[in-house]
Amino acid sequence: MVGDSLFEDTVRTQMTHVAQLSATFGESEASADALYQQLLEAARQSGGRLLIVDMDGKVTFDTFDERCGTRLGLSEVFSVLRGEADSDFGFHQQEGADRKQAASVLDWLTGRDLNQVWVGCFVSALVNEGQRVGALALITSVQETVDSLTSMRDQMLGVFSAALVVVLVLAGFISRIVTKPVKELSAGIERMSKGDYQHRVHVPGKSEMAQLAAAFNQMSEQVYHLDEARNQFVSNASHELKTPLATIKILVESVMYQEDMDPQLRREFLGDIDREIDRLSSVVGDLLTLVHIDSHKLRLRREMMIFADTVRESVARLAPLAQKRGQTIQTDIADMCEMFADPGKLAQVCYNIIENAIKYTPDGGTISVTLHRMGRDAVLEISDTGVGIPPEDLPHVFDRFYRVDKARSRDTGGTGLGLSIVQQIVRLHAGSVTVASKPGEGTTFTVQLPVK
Ligand SMILES: Nc1ncnc2c1ncn2[C@@H]1O[C@H](COP(=O)(O)OP(=O)(O)OP(=O)(O)O)[C@@H](O)[C@H]1O
Ligand SMILES: [Mg+2]
């Protein structure tokens, strides 16, 4: 664009100039000598070479005195002589400038020949009395314009290449900044998919990537805990199943290999085996219930029911057990608590808590069961005068497989699943269960369930 405007400028000035000269010389009545002098003067002023060509294209005047009598074979001359245009111009390369400039790498690359110079030929028709008699050609060097254009082009190329390098370096830098956290994250995800849940990704700052990394870390933390909980659950469950199985194996082997065993003893052993099998099936039942609740497969079979009846039935089922240990169960029911709930599941809640009360209360103790309404809730309280639970164990009694006194539980046969099942069922009913206890004095479990 810059080149075009530069050349347009040159062409306009020279064309006007040559048009003025041709107008003067076309109508001139001067002698050949005088004309030649005038031409020389004009050529000197315009700093170029002036030639006059007749209608045959032959040079009649040349201010350089070189081409007189020869033909000037330039297309712009012909087009003017043929009458295709009143004036025309063209640019040509000419041999032989003595230029002391050294060739640059760019000249070499673009194939520029420093021995060649550019000249412009500006031609205008010579008209005498309305008749075209020849043409006037002004030949001037345009090498200066070409040179300044070339140097401008070289400079621009230099600036652009430098800018390109800077942009490339910057782009590389920025893309590294952007892709580094993505790489970190995908490496983290890969490690996680291979089972490494303890790996955390570090993306500093507050960008979206940093937030994503924080969310990812939180997720892997949760997965880690879930994984740990699952492993714990499996190992606890296996342990609970292994103990009764080992006992059964010893008892069965004794019966098998002692052929002369006392029938009384044999019956006792078989009774023990039977009890261990009962224990096994109760543990398996509890585990299945928990797994069902965990996998959200457990659906409550809700119906209109009277909670008071459920409580009474559970007390009646456990009464023989309490009786055997000389314990009294006091029942105080102040409200029927009609509600829309799953009677089977609530019966299990009552059974588990009352069974605990009986199990963890010494012979001759008292267990009290009360049911009343408080606002929109049914409140079931089960208290005992038993051993109680130490304060440090209270927060854990609802955990799976948690037993306060491991040794004592072996005698009472507990697995540590009863209360966690209670808590899950109560939660499914949108209720809550709490415990309060004083070691040595007794324990109170409170179940609160929404009636509507
Ligand atoms: N009324 C209570 N008095 C004292 N300790 C209790 C009472 N109820 C529960 N606990 C303590 O809480 C622990 C957890 O009770 P949970 O019912 O979950 O398990 P468990 O009774 O040992 O076994 P099971 O799965 O057979 O019920 C018990 O082992 C016991 O130590
Ligand atoms: Mg229990």
What element of type H or E holds 48? none
| Ligand 1 centroid from CA 373, angstroms | 26
Same domain, 308 and 264: no
Same domain membership, residue 118 and residue 9: yes
The whole-angstrom separation of Cα 398 and Cα 296 is: 19
Cα–ligand 1 centroid distance for 418 (angstroms)? 7
- Ligand 1 pocket, mutate which of 368, 394, 419, 441 (most atoms under 8 A from CB): 419
Residue 243: exposed, middle, or buried by beta-carbon count in 10 A (0-12, 13-18, 19+)? middle
Token pair listed for 159: 């600036």
Do residues 202 and 213 touch, judged by C-beta distance below 8 A?
yes
The total number of structural domains in the chain stands at: 3
Cα 356 to middle of ligand 1, angstroms: 5
Q: What is the CATH number of the domain that holds 438?
A: 3.30.565.10
- The whole-number pLDDT of residue 113 equals 67
Residues in the chain, overall count: 452
Residue 328 lies in domain: 303-450
Residue reference for tokens 């230029």: 99
Nearest atom, ligand 1, residue 357 CA: 1
DSSP string, 68-80: TTSB---HHHHHH
Angle between helices 2-26 and 32-46 (to 10 degrees): 160
> What pLDDT score was predicted for residue 314?
96
Q: What strands, in cross-sheet order, belong to the sheet with 442-450?
A: 328-333, 366-374, 377-384, 442-450, 432-438
In 10 A of CB 198, how many CB atoms?
10
Percent of the chain as helix, strand, coil, to the nearest 5? 55, 20, 25
Residue 96 lies in a domain: yes
Question: Does residue 206 belong to any structural domain of this protein?
Answer: no
Residue with tokens 């315009």: 46
Per residue of the chain (452 residues), give pLDDT as tens. Answer: 888 888 898 889 989 988 888 888 887 777 888 888 888 888 888 888 899 999 888 998 888 888 888 888 888 988 988 988 889 999 888 776 555 556 566 666 666 666 778 888 999 998 888 888 899 999 988 888 888 888 888 899 999 999 999 999 999 999 988 888 889 899 999 999 998 888 888 888 888 888 999 999 999 999 999 999 889 889 988 988 998 899 999 999 999 998 888 999 999 999 999 999 998 998 899 999 888 888 877 788 999 999 999 999 999 999 999 999 999 999 999 999 999 999 999 999 999 999 999 999 999 999 999 999 999 999 999 999 999 999 999 999 999 889 888 765 555 667 899 999 999 999 999 999 999 999 999 999 999 999 97
pLDDT of res. 101: 58
Among 121, 141, 161, the domain boundary falls at 141
Is 51 a domain residue? yes
User: 327: which DSSP letter?
Assistant: -
CA-nearest residue for atom 13, ligand 1, is 403
The atom number, within ligand 1, closest to the CA of 402 reads 14
Ligand 2 being an ion, which residues bring their Cβ within 5 A of it?
A: 356, 418
285 inside domain: yes
HSE of 446, CA atoms in CB hemisphere, 13 A: 11
Q: What DSSP string describes 338-351?
A: EEEE-HHHHHHHHH
Instruction: Judge whether 337 lies within some domain.
Output: yes
Considering the domain architecture, whether residues 246 and 319 belong to the same structural domain is answered as no
